[in-house]
């Protein structure tokens, strides 16, 4: 079923979109897709910084459009109350085509009066690398997340459960403080803090592809996001 948003250029619409993106990295699924491009194109201007989740997502999609493009198809999204969005507005060229175009441009810019020296080539490469690194640094925000990790029953070894959770290592993921909280009937759940780099880690993916699959699901029944805050 397609996701539907209303009047996303209004404060009310932005607030609903911000709430929707609280625990999501993308509009649908676990990778940037055509659905993200549709919502991105529907926004008449960059969202105000007070809408932290929308701003994080908007900056990320903008960076992808500039650097590599978006190829995912998505599962469908409807944006009501905005101007019609054309196919051209959500079309991005494949990375290979972009590189080919760049190569063609290089051929067109042949210097008829002399070849580029090795020093000039090296300087140009260093400038490009510096600009790319600077852009990446500005766009990579961080978020603080509080997870509830629930065991199967009161016989689950909570020490081994926590060890299993902390055994998950990903670039941009850092585990923090934790505590056991009584649920009832002798059962306790693990509450654990983690810090993520938004551009590198999706909490949904972490839960669905790491914390609730073998071998960790021997101890973990389910995980819930209790809090998600931009740092």
* pLDDT tens per residue across all 231 residues of the chain: 678 898 899 999 999 999 999 988 899 888 888 988 999 999 989 999 999 999 999 999 888 888 777 878 888 888 887 666 655 655 554 444 444 444 444 444 444 444 556 777 777 777 777 666 655 544 568 999 999 999 999 999 999 999 999 999 999 999 999 999 998 888 999 999 999 999 999 999 999 999 999 999 999 999 999 999 988
Spatial distance between the Cα atoms of 16 and 22, rounded to a whole number of angstroms: 10
User: 10 Å Cβ neighbour count for 178?
Assistant: 17
Query: Mind giving me the DSSP string for 3-45?
Result: EEEE-TTSHHHHHHHHHHGGG-SSSSTTS-BHHHHHHHHH-SS
Half-sphere exposure of 224 (CA within 13 A, CB side): 7
What predicted TM-score, i.e. pTM, was given to this entire model?
0.42
**Domain range list for the chain:** 11-68, 142-230
Identify whether the C-beta of residue 33 lies closer than 8 Å to the C-beta of residue 27. yes
CATH class of 142-230: alpha beta
């Amino acid at each position: 079923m397609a996701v539907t948003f209303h009047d996303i250029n209004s404060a009310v619409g932005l607030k609903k979109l911000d709430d929707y993106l609280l625990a999501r990295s993308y509009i649908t699924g676990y990778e940037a897709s055509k659905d993200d491009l549709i919502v991105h194109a529907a926004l008449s201007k960059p969202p105000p910084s007070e809408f932290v989740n929308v701003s994080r997502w908007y900056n990320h999609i903008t960076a992808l459009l500039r650097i590599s493009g978006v190829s995912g198809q998505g599962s469908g999204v409807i944006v009501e109350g905005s101007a019609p969005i054309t196919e051209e507005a959500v079309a991005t060229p494949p990375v290979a085509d972009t590189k080919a175009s760049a190569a063609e441009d290089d051929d067109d810019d042949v210097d008829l009066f002399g070849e580029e020296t090795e020093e000039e080539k090296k300087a140009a490469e260093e400038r490009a690398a510096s600009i790319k690194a600077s852009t990446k640094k500005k766009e990579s925000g961080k978020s603080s997340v509080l997870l509830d990790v629930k065991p199967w029953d009161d016989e689950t070894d909570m020490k081994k459960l926590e060890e299993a959770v902390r055994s998950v290592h990903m670039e941009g993921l850092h585990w923090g403080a934790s505590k056991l909280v009584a649920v009832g009937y002798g059962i306790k759940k693990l509450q654990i803090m983690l810090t993520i780099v938004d551009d590198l880690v999706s909490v949904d993916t972490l839960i669905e592809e790491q914390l609730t699959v073998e071998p960790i699901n021997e101890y973990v029944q389910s995980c819930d996001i209790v809090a998600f805050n931009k740092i």
